[in-house]
Amino acid sequence: MNTQTSSLAGLIWSVADLLRGDFKQSQYGRIILPFTVLRRLECVLAPNKEKVLAMVETTRSMPEEARHKLLLNAAGQAFYNSSRLDLARLGETHTLDNLDSYVRAFSNDAREIFEQFSFEGSLAKLEDADLLYKVVQKFAHFDLSPEAVDNYHMGLVFEDLIRRFAESSNETAGEHFTPRDIVRLTTSLVFATDDDALTKPGVVRSIYDPTAGTGGFLSCGMEYLHELNEHARLATFGQELNPESYAICKADMLIKGQEISNIKLGNTLSQDQLRGERFDYCLSNPPFGVDWKKVEKTVKDEHQHQGFEGRFGPGLPRVSDGSLLFLMHLISKMRGSTPEVPGSRIGIILNGSPLFTGGAGSGESEIRRYILEQDLLDAIVALPTDMFYNTGIATYIWVLSNHKPTERKGKVLLINASDMHSPMRKSLGSKRKFLNDEALDKIVGLYSRYDMAELEAGGIAKLFNTTDFGYRRITVERPLKPAFYPHDQERIAAMQADKTWDRLDQTLQSAILHALSRFADSKLLSRATFKKQLGALLGSIKLPAPAFKLICKHMGEQDDEAEICKTKGQLEANPDLRDNENVPLGENIHDYFAREVLPHVPDAWIDENKRDDKDGQVGIVGYEIPFNRHFYQYQPPRSLEEIDADLDAVSREIMELLAEVHS
């Protein structure tokens, strides 16, 4: 954010000085934000205001629909205001009535913006505090005309105001908007490989953000396309949960001439208000690590009953983090790829957990599996930490496409941009770093050029096959070889403390204890022998299977010298020694097992009953993207001599300090 923009935002926020005392800090934004929107709309309409007023007079007797179109045409915008009033002319008396009349004179789409701000309630409170006229006069003197503040910088002003509002009310600013350097990078990555198509005359494309916030991604997409082709048209679509962010987004799209009925209010996961729509470009920064308990029933019902006909066919992530739900939602919004319509591209910002959370067969792994096996993932860019206003965690941009060019098919590009940041002169919340133009150009260049020589050299960009991230989890079993200790009093006491023991008949309990005391040997290396002798010692008393299982549990212990247990001629596995091995996809599991497992545990075997549900082969298929592992650089430890020298230096310093104390 440049100095001019920051100064303007600070000037507008200074209205809070008037509110202090009569209003809580948490209420400032609910007054300042809608007034800022109102003044911006007023300034945008100002050049054609007289034309609109003249049209109001000449169209009074016309049908409403025809009159509406003529007024829009006179305004030269997607909205109008039919009142002769403006903020400077409301008057010191009857200010509330005049302002209410002025706001109601906006066309329906613009008026709805103020309804989402609950503007009417805020005005009444200002009137009661005798502050309404003073606040109105303040805003009337702010120059928010497009000539003074273009749309891009006006968006930055709104973002700065929301950040100040969030900080004053202890809310989370990052839930409302994404820093513009990250927006620019994500947008550039998504549009990068389509530059040739986008420069053609008359091109029309659509862009969608299911977590629209204040409309940063939608605005940046429009700006990017306009830079390439000023005659191109980008239709914007979005949905936002927060009413105030929704109102600002809708105002921004309104000023830019977009069809604002395409901007929806509501929860995207539980109520997709653009159901059935498909888009050319999808961009999103969903909230990091936020649970989806509130919409759990709706999401699970869609997953169970609609499967792949719905949005969540591949699987569901754990309830504690809904990031991957938004990714699947975006995938459902992709157009099919045809010669006429090339398909869709997605850019989404996620934290680190979607890369690796969940083992083979889990919801997260199955979602990654679907994305990679359908060859949708094109690239992932690791961002520096401390890039967002509300968190300093590591974040990643995922780029997906269902129309990869030939050289990208079956491939995934990883770019490690975690060290490409510049320090901010002044921190904004948790945001202490930003990506300058040079860093943005380098990242986009690495992605779009796909320079094989540079990629093969390693460095910050590496190319992988989609299968490189897959593995097959095999279950490794080892035989049950228990030794039994019938005279061990600690084991007997543990058995008696077990809840299962309490459910046995007292006669059986006494018989078991008596039989254990009569064993001739203190240690037996065969379960069959132990069972046979125990049965003989019990005599006519029958030993139920649950009782024998309880005795084995407490009196037995794995012993490599003991006899292997068998059931119906088959080796019996010891569940306590069960383990898993992840075998890279493409490698024979038996070759891997012979090389990596048998040399260490020669009696182990693979449980071939554990098979993948989809391909039926032994082992459960899983996918993870261990980003940091692929870019890890070994740092050798310091030499012992160097460490000793440091310790000696510290010791001397301590002794000198002690000497000063005693002198």
CATH number (domain holding residue 198): 3.40.50.150
Give the domain-ending residue among 110, 129, 164: 164
Determine contact, residues 95/130, Cβ cutoff 8 Å. no
**What's the pLDDT at 173?**
42
* Closest to 180 (Cα-Cα) out of 235, 221, 208, 239: 221
User: Is position 585 within any domain?
Assistant: no
Query: If you average pLDDT over residues 74-84, what whole number do you get?
Result: 93
Instruction: Name the residue with tokens 């990629």.
Output: 455
Range from 77-81, 282-286, 450-454 carrying the lowest mean pLDDT: 450-454
Give the C-alpha distances (Å, rounded to integers) separating 462 from 349, 416, 653: 20, 9, 47
Does 187 share its domain with 159?
A: no
Question: Which of 172, 156, 154, 211 is CA-nearest to residue 429?
Answer: 172
Q: Is the domain of 154 the same as that of 272?
A: no
**Tokens 């969540």 -> residue:** 312
Cβ distance 384 to 420 under 8 Å? Answer: yes
Q: What is the pLDDT of residue 453?
A: 61
Output Rg (C-alpha) for the chain, integer angstroms: 34
Residues 316 and 426 in one domain: yes
Average pLDDT (85-107) is: 92
Is 595 within the bounds of a domain?
no
What's the pLDDT band for 657 if we cut at 50, 70, 90?
A: confident
- For 41, residues 6+ apart whose C-beta sits below 8 A from its C-beta are 79, 81, 106, 110, 251, 254, 255
Domain match, 378 and 327 both: yes
Taking the C-alpha atoms of residue 627 and residue 541, their distance in angstroms, rounded to an integer, is: 62
Q: What is the pLDDT of residue 213?
A: 86
Angle among Cα 219, 387, 464 to the nearest 5 degrees reads 90
Measured N-to-C along each axis, helices 243-255 and 216-228 cross at an angle, to the nearest 10 degrees, of: 20
Average pLDDT over residues 567-594: 94
Q: Kindly state the percentage of the chain with pLDDT values over 70.
A: 96
Tell me which residue of 268, 43, 44, 5 sits closest to 159, measured CA to CA.
Answer: 5
623 lies in some domain:
no
State yes or no: pLDDT of 219 exceeds 90.
no
Q: Using CA atoms, how far apart are residues 36 and 30, in angstroms rounded to an integer?
A: 10
Q: Are 30 and 122 in contact (CB under 8 A)?
A: yes
Q: Which two tokens stand for residue 651?
A: 């010791």
**Residue 506 in this model has a pLDDT that exceeds 70:** yes
Same domain, 262 and 123: no
* pLDDT at residue 292, rounded to an integer: 94
Together in a domain, 395 and 440: yes
Average pLDDT of 485-504? 95
Query: How many structural domains are present in the chain?
Result: 3
Q: How confident is the model at residue 199 (pLDDT cuts 50, 70, 90)?
A: confident
pLDDT of the residue at 200: 78
pLDDT at 452: 63
Q: Is the pLDDT of residue 170 over 70?
A: no
Q: Confirm whether 653 is domain-assigned.
A: no
Q: Residue 403's closest CA among 352, 345, 321? A: 345
Residues 184, 248: one domain?
Answer: yes
Decide if 577 is inside a domain.
Answer: no
Q: What is the pLDDT of the chain when averaged over all its residues?
A: 90
233-240 and 263-265 strand pairing: parallel
Domain encompassing residue 58 = 1-164
Q: Cβ distance 392 to 174 under 8 Å?
A: no
Residue pLDDT, tens place only, 301-343? 999 999 999 999 999 999 999 999 999 999 999 998 777 678 9
pLDDT above 90 covers what percent of the chain? Answer: 64
Predicted pLDDT at 454: 63
Q: What's the pTM value of the predicted model, to 2 decimals?
A: 0.84
Domain shared by 386 and 514, yes or no: no
**Confidence band for 174, pLDDT divided at 50, 70 and 90:** very low
Helices (H) and strands (E) in the chain, counts: 28, 19
Whether residue 629 lies inside any domain: the answer is no
Three-class SS state of 159? helix
Instruction: State residue 457's pLDDT score.
Output: 60
Give the pLDDT score at 153.
84
477 part of a folded domain: no
Q: How far is residue 359's CA from residue 364's CA, in Å, rounded to a whole number?
A: 8
For 310, the token pair is 């719905």
Q: Is residue 588 part of a domain?
A: no
Orientation angle between helical segments 216-228 and 180-192, nearest 10 degrees = 50
Pairwise CA distance, residues 322 & 326, whole Å: 7
